[in-house]
């Protein structure tokens, strides 16, 4: 029988270290710690020149979003976000450009523009600051 504990508070680690090798109900307790957390890889290429694109149709994909913004500059990455439970689009995404001028050009040209939608959703953008 195994029991797993997830530590949320750092000072609890000291308490678990003290428990290692002690016996409880006839069993020896052992605490294992991971060596290093794995660094998270970005889900798509990002730059500091990022636009938030909202009110998208559920049918818009990463590729469609990239194509829509490519004429305004070099799109480094584009991503539509999806709901983890339903798999359905959340109706917004992000587009990253290689330069600030390209990002501002796309924002000026496409802000409040109806875009790729049989349901007449609008594509609204704003500069996203980390």
Q: SS3 sequence, the chain?
A: CCCCCCCCCCCHHHHHHHHCCCEECCEECCCCCCCCCCCCCCCCCCCCEEEEEECCCCCCCHHHHHHHHHCCCCEEEEEEEECCCCCCEEEEEEEEECCHHHHHHHHHHHCCEECCCCCCCEEEEEEECC
pLDDT value for 111: 83
Residues 96, 105, 54, 48: is their CA dihedral positive or negative?
Answer: positive
Per residue in 13-68, pLDDT tens?
445 555 556 777 887 777 666 676 777 777 778 889 999 998 888 888 999 999 98
Per residue in 70-127, pLDDT tens?
999 999 999 999 998 999 999 999 999 999 999 999 998 888 877 654 443 444 455 5
Interaxial angle between packed helices 62-70 and 100-110, expressed in degrees from 0 to 180 and rounded to the nearest 10? 100
Q: Enumerate domains of the chain plus CATH numbers.
A: 49-128 (3.30.70.330)
Among 85, 42, 78, 86, CA closest to 60: 78
Q: What is the pTM of this model?
A: 0.60
> Are 75 and 26 contacting, i.e. CB atoms less than 8 angstroms apart?
no
């Amino acid at each position: 029988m195994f029991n797993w504990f997830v530590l949320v508070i750092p000072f609890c680690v000291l308490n678990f270290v003290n428990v290692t090798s002690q016996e409880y109900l006839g069993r020896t307790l052992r605490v294992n710690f991971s060596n290093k957390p794995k660094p998270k890889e970005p889900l798509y290429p990002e730059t500091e020149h990022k636009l938030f694109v909202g009110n998208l149709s559920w049918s818009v994909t990463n590729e469609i979003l990239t194509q829509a913004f490519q004429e305004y500059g070099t799109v480094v990455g584009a991503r539509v976000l999806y709901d983890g439970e339903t798999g359905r689009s959340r109706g917004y995404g992000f587009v990253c450009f290689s330069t600030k001028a390209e990002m501002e050009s796309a924002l000026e040209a496409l802000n409040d523009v109806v875009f790729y939608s049989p349901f007449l959703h609008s594509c609204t953008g704003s500069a996203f600051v980390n």
